[in-house]
Amino acid sequence: MPERVSKVRILPPPLQYMFNFKKNKNQTATLKELAKQVRLLEERLKETTDDLASLKQVQEKAISKVGLLRFNPFGEIGGDQSFSVALLDNENSGVVITSHYGKDMQRVYAKTITKGKSEHALSKEEEKVILQAKKLNNSSE
């Protein structure tokens, strides 16, 4: 006759105490306490789920795509001291900022971008950084 081998699982101490009927005479109180803790955990889970949904909504409008280009608008004179930067959200809306740096002047332009387009004329550098930023996350295009 073959021997039967049984697997014994060791329970964590709180469960050992709860299921030890000889030592724990007050099973009802223990089960009520566990039910209370489960309800509290369910409430905390709902709060956490609600917080996560709220954060997801906020994140949709947060800057999540950035494009940057340094360039020289004056040809061979000077270096790449000018730049354009696009700061966009998940809907490709945001702003493009361009700085033209020259020996005797510095100009800064800011243009709003809505769904990848601007109501103002864009330079080729601005168009390039917007495209660069949009490529960081193609899911919105």
Q: What are the pLDDT digits (tens) for 79-138?
A: 778 999 999 999 999 999 999 887 778 899 999 999 999 999 999 999 999 999 998 765
Of 4-8, 26-30, 47-51, 104-108, the one with minimum mean pLDDT is 4-8
pTM for this entry? 0.63
Nearest by Cα to 133 from 91, 74, 72: 91
Decide if 92 contacts 116 (C-beta within 8 A).
yes
